[in-house]
Amino acid sequence: MTKSFKVKNPATGELVSEVNINSKEEIEQALENGHLSFKKWSKINAHTRSGYLKDWSNKIQENKEELAKLMTLENGKPLKESLGEVDYATSYIDWYAEEAKRIYGRTIPAAAETKRIIVSKQAIGLVAAITPWNFPAAMMTRKAAPALAAGCTFIVKPAEDTPLTTIRLIELAHEVGIPTDVIQYVIGDGKEVGEMFTSSEYVRKITFTGSTPVGKSLIKNSADTIKHVTMELGGHAPLIVAQDADLDFAVSQTIASKFRNAGQTCVCANRIIVHEEVVEAFSEKLAEEVKKLKVGNGLEEDVQIGPIINEKGYEKVVSQIEEAIEKGAEVLTGNEYNVDKEQGCFFVYPTVLKNVDSTMKIMQEETFGPVAPIISYKDLEEAVTIANNTPYGLAAYFFTNDYKTGTYLHDHLDFGIVGWNDGAPSAAHVPFGGMKESGLGREGGIEGIEPYLETKYLSIGNL
Ligand code: ADP
């Protein structure tokens, strides 16, 4: 009997679709096919590969409404955010369609007149990706586009909660003529498929977006066959509001950063660190605006905050809020819930907490929910100490119009992505990635194609 996953709408509990789980044999076959098709795909010239990517991007745009609706149905994010994600997802394909044509080598002056030296780049082989549920489209294209542009073949295992968007995107790739063995998906349990990917001799690279513990195990398991790895892992982003900041602007950007996807992104502001002179005014303004956010089914008009993806995610958010309140945090708004455990629907109303301190779990762990905890600081040194006091180093934000304050914070924050008066810095043309336990490598920008390429050095002698 074929096993399957039920994909449910997290806003209503309704069944969206049932997806068959691939058998071990099917996954092994897919890996072999991906490996065999690499020879041909990597030899196709870069301009032709670029053309395929452009066609794929156009096809996705033609199907934008359908894809966005599917994404909201399986993920719960507001439709407007899903439409935005389709654009964000295609922006990676567009960017790497261009970068495919710019995979440059170089020549090096030799140390002898009789020699010449040439350095060239070559695709690394079959790439296996594991993607999360919070950006079902963009986290896949951010990996697939540079892989295909470089000449690699690609296989992805999407998250169990949200496989449908990925499946549809890959069908569209096949519709525009990208060979079926060049870009593939497999459906299965994360751990089992992960182990098949890491132990396969056909796979030359693992690229993963997800939690830090899973990332660590993928790195360990990749060691036996020395695979390349790119890891986009957890975050715990600080957002610092300096004394001189434009508070209204800082509030609007805090909301953009904190409450997107109901707070379920790895770059969401997770700790709001505000100068003691402005903490009262900022907290009040933030709570006032947060109260206006509309919670509900993402398909309904004007909804800004959808559900938490599943019960595990909900339990984590609630336990952080409850522990903070027990330890003395003050609720300015939120700490309200709309839950139907039987149906599997978990809504957390956007919450602002004041008087938070560093002993609370919410200040130590990623929340992945719509909760903004506010802590105050006296001077910049203290702000930086609080901000860097985490094993994570993905994104950090600060708000100031003073260039010395901004320069100091930029210099001292140990994070791979820094937004100065900018709560939404992600884009296809910039290098996205974290320091410390937030990951290895970068995705996007010119950096994002390098991990799919090997360097080959040729020395010509006896000239
Ligand atoms: P989250 O807890 O936010 O779902 P995960 O890191 O568990 O984050 O999930 C991200 C992706 O990793 C999903 O596609 C999931 O199926 C996959 N996954 C989960 N556990 C493992 C594992 N042990 N090995 C490989 N992939 C895994």
The Cα-based distances of 138 to 67, 193, 217 in angstroms read: 12, 21, 23
Q: Is residue 167 situated within a structural domain?
A: yes
Read off φ and ψ for residue 387, nearest 5 degrees.
Answer: -60, -45
274 and 363, same structural domain? yes
Q: How many domains does the chain have?
A: 2
Q: What is the pTM of this model?
A: 0.97
The pLDDT averaged over each successive group of 10 residues in the chain (463 residues) is: 90 98 98 98 98 98 98 98 98 98 98 98 98 98 98 98 98 98 98 98 98 98 97 97 98 97 97 98 98 98 96 98 98 98 97 97 96 98 98 98 98 98 97 98 98 98 98
Q: With a 6 A CB cut-off, is 191 part of the ligand 1 pocket?
A: yes
Nearest residue (CA) to ligand 1, atom 19: 190
For residues 324 and 360, is the Cβ–Cβ distance under 8 A?
Answer: yes
Q: Is residue 431 situated within a structural domain?
A: no
Q: Is residue 351 situated within a structural domain?
A: yes
Annotation marks residue 232 as catalytic:
yes
Residue 361 structure tokens: 């779990």
394 and 357, same structural domain? yes
306 and 206, same structural domain? no
290 and 205, same structural domain? no
285 and 161, same structural domain? no
CATH number at residue 273: 3.40.309.10
Distance 132 CA to ligand 1 centre (A): 7
337 and 394, same structural domain? yes
Q: Give the span between the Cα atoms of 414 and 396, in whole angstroms.
A: 8
CATH number at residue 224: 3.40.605.10
Q: Is residue 433 situated within a structural domain?
A: no
224 and 113, same structural domain? yes
For residues 66 and 86, is the Cβ–Cβ distance under 8 A?
Answer: no
Q: Is residue 432 situated within a structural domain?
A: no
334 and 246, same structural domain? yes
227 and 256, same structural domain? no
94 and 34, same structural domain? yes
Annotation marks residue 152 as catalytic:
no
The confidence score (pLDDT) of residue 2 equals 73
Distance 13 CA to ligand 1 centre (A): 22
Distance from the Cα of residue 439 to its chain's centroid: 11
Kindly provide the b/e burial profile for residues 183-204, where b requires at least 16 CB atoms within 10 angstroms of the residue's own CB. Answer: bbbbbbebeebbebbbebebbb
Q: Is residue 85 situated within a structural domain?
A: yes
167 and 35, same structural domain? yes
Q: Domain limits at 142?
A: 4-233+438-460
Q: Give the span between the Cα atoms of 396 and 423, in whole angstroms.
A: 9
By CB atoms closer than 10 A (0-12, 13-18, 19+), residue 274 is: buried
Q: Is residue 340 situated within a structural domain?
A: yes
- Long-range own/partner contacts, residues 56-65 (CB < 8 A, 24 or more apart): 56/93, 56/172, 56/173, 56/176, 56/178, 57/90, 57/93, 57/94, 57/97, 58/176, 59/172, 59/173, 59/175, 59/176, 60/86, 60/89, 60/90, 60/93, 60/169, 60/172, 61/86, 61/90, 63/168, 63/172
Q: Give the span between the Cα atoms of 147 and 161, in whole angstroms.
A: 24
350 and 221, same structural domain? no
Q: Is the ipTM of this complex over 0.90?
A: yes
Q: With a 6 A CB cut-off, is 132 part of the ligand 1 pocket?
A: yes
Q: Is residue 142 situated within a structural domain?
A: yes
Q: Which of 5, 7, 130, 206 to mutate to test the pocket of ligand 1 (most atoms within 8 A of CB)?
A: 130
